[in-house]
Amino acid sequence: MADIGLYAALIGGLIILAVAGDFLVNGAVSLARKLGVSPLVAGILIVGFGTSAPEMVVTLGAAMQGQPGLALGNVVGSNIANVWLVLAVPALIAPIATGGFGQSRALLFVLLTTAAWIGVTALWPLSPLIGGVFLGALGVYAFMTLTHTLAAARRGINIGGNADDDSPTLSGVKLWVFLAIGIIGLPIGAHLIVEGGVGIARKFALSEEIIGLTLLAIGTSLPELGAGIAAALRRKSDIVIGNVLGSNVFNLLGAGGLVSLFGPVPIAPSFASYDHWALAAAALTLALFIIPKATISRLAAATMMLVYAIYLYGLIQGWNVLAEVKALVG
């Protein structure tokens, strides 16, 4: 019966995730229209922040329980999954157009944030001072993103998303109910999936480290995946892109900043030797599409998923990219 409960949690979580993702995307698009902001900003600030809640909750809980390695693994692993899994799966459903209003600007911040995270953690343990800087930078980013799109709209610049959009606009209480269902439902669905998945994994005697760096990171990225699939089904490319860009910034600066407040937090050598290389590669993957304004095709999506599978295999096998690079240079 216990096994049945684990599988029920897994399936129930998937259903809740799909429904909540649809509610959140509908609410976010309607709120974007109401505020006069672009769908990209809705994806970054509403969908991105709302779907990053599980990462922040799990990361904070792990840090408070004295498990900083698990917390940092969740942050870094979720950002990798966001690109090579969360962005890839919706693109398998419908090719995703890039190059919309504000995407290059948001990409630049993702690249800067990723570089700052890798650089800082390579030199120092995470400290409360670093956490304060990260959280402050997150506030500045959110403010600049919102004011930039509002200023563009006032100048008559086409911020995209409304011209050929025939989806219904929610108003009043219904809009906020949709947003609430989405933001509350996604973490609940993710929690059920993680509980079921971890329980099933333990039945196969997988180690806690492997579970944390794979299932936990993927599980807390499932809200982004649910919202991304819902957006892809509605052909909302800006929402899909904004969801990933926003979530990756919120994970590093928000969840990473919260972990730092419990510092000094030492960084395990495995991050520098393997995971941070994958983190940088995932961020550059976004640049490969957004800078040339290329469409993320189904072939590209399948390739990203293959790269993610290779990353997970290397993680389990204990690959050391840093050692290989030093051997080549030396």
pLDDT in tens, 28-76: 667 766 766 666 666 676 666 666 766 676 667 667 767 677 778 888 9
pTM: 0.79
Cα angle for residues 273, 279, 283 (degrees, 5° grid):
145
Query: What are the tens digits of pLDDT across the range 214-233?
Result: 766 777 677 777 778 877 88
Distance (Å, whole) CA 201 – CA 208 = 9
Rounded mean pLDDT, 81-94: 91
Q: How confident is the model at residue 91 (pLDDT cuts 50, 70, 90)?
A: very high
Distance (Å, whole) CA 260 – CA 264 = 7
- Side-chain half-sphere CA neighbours of 88 within 13 A: 20
Q: Within 10 Å of residue 245's Cβ, how many Cβ atoms?
A: 27
Distance (Å, whole) CA 50 – CA 224 = 9
Distance (Å, whole) CA 27 – CA 7 = 30
Contact 188, 36 (CB under 8 A): no
| Residue 162 pLDDT | 41
Distance (Å, whole) CA 37 – CA 130 = 31
Domains and CATH numbers, the chain: 2-329 (1.20.1420.30)
- N- to C-terminal Cα separation, the chain: 57
